[in-house]
Every structure is written in C-alpha cells, then in structure tokens.
Amino acid sequence: MLKINNLKAYYGAIEALHGIALEVNPGEIRCIIGVNGAGKTTLLKAISGVVEKSGSISWSDSDISEATARKIAQMGIIHVPEGRHVFPGLTVRENLEVSTISWHGFFGAKPYTEDIDLVFSIFPRLQERANQKAWSLSGGEQQMLVIGRALMARPKMLLLDEPSMGLAPKVINELFSQIVRIHKEQNIPILLIEQNARLALRVSSYAYVLDQGNIILEGDAKELRRDPRVVEAYFGKLSKSD
C-alpha cells in the first residue's frame, strides 16, 4: 500500500534522511524506533509532504513523491503529529468536525453523524466532554481527541508520531488498546513512531530501527524484541512476560 525507496529529506542544506526504504502493507502495524534525533519525525513529515525531500513514495501503486500535503491528506494518508495539537478554543465536537474538511470540502453542514458516533464509541470520554473546550482536557484526553480527529478524516492509513509522549502509564495502556482496536475494527494500516520501544514492538508486526537518518535494522517485531542489539540499546534486560 505504501512503499518508499531511497527517500532523503532536507532542512536547507542539511540532509536528515539518507536513502530510506520501507513499506507498509494492508492490515499491518509497522513501527519505527530510535533515539531522539534519529529522524523518525522527519520521516513522517516527508511522507506527509511537509518537508523538502527526494526519492520515491508510492501509494496504492501511484507515485505521490511530488504531491502536496493537502493532496496526500485527501488521499487518506492522515498524519497525527507529536505534541497533541488540538484547537484549544474549540469544543471537542468542533475539533472533530473540523477534520471533515479533508473529504467534505467545507465546515458547517453535518453529514458526518456516523463518523462522530464511531469516535465516541472508541473514546467514550470524548463523548462525555463533547461540549468542553479542548484546552481544558487532560493530556490523555487531548491525545484521544487528535486520534479521533484523524478518524473523522476517514483515513486509509494513519501515521502516528509518539502518541504516548508525556502520558502516565495507565493512560498509555488505555490509549494503545484503542489504537489496536482502531487498526483491527476499521482495518486501517498504521505506521507508528514511538519512543517506548517495548510497547511499539509489542503492538506491531514489523519494525525498523532508525539511527542518524538511516535504517540500521529491520525485521519481525517479535524477533527484534529479542535481538540483543535492540535489547541493549532500548530497554535493557527483558522479563519473561516480554
């Protein structure tokens, strides 16, 4: 579905990605792990069309290497950036409605009742706070909101950047159970960036290790969880439950 070859990304004269190759097939969650500054966020930005890049990106056998960020979103490749970027002065419901612009074309008419019902069924807490301003939500609720907003865009694929950032362990577990639910019930492939390598490898079927703009290791996620190089670099000694 998504195939990338020899992808390079640039910030001015600085080359941040050095010939990345990866793919995400229908029905998969694939993850990218790596230390801060490895180029993980830049990779998602390159796919989304918001940084300068070269190389090949194809989506369902169509070349989207030169497509604009708007066009890529309209195709259904929906990027959820790190940092919980809600519209703070809008209510929860209004934040959700805004995302329908990508397929509905304008904001105002309301042919998306089923979309909102879906989001509220996955995140009941958002329904409880539907008329509450987004700025007043907890960090976990705001992360639910930005993922819910991505669902309102009717994604064919989700790019998730650090969804666990800054959240308490209990909230992280709840959030990731819903991410897996979305993947399974809505049949949406996901490319996940996550600093919590143990968690990322647990929910993914395939993984890439990114370091200084290069993929240095890739393979079955379960196998990488046991790879001594990954264990040493990212989470130390594993327990039997891991």
pTM flag (> 0.85)? yes
Beta strands in the chain (DSSP E): 2-11, 14-24, 29-33, 52-59, 62-63, 77-80, 157-161, 190-193, 206-211, 214-220
For 39, the domain range is 2-235
39 inside domain? yes
In CATH, what number is assigned to the domain containing residue 123?
3.40.50.300
Count of the separate structural domains present in the chain: 1
241 inside domain? no
240 inside domain? no
Residue 196 structure tokens: 């919590």
pLDDT tens for each residue of 42-81: 999 999 999 999 999 999 989 999 999 999 998 999 999 9
Q: Is the pLDDT of residue 241 over 70?
A: no
122 inside domain? yes
Average pLDDT over residues 81-108: 80
110 inside domain? yes
pLDDT tens for each residue of 191-240: 999 988 999 999 999 999 999 999 999 999 999 998 988 888 876 544 34
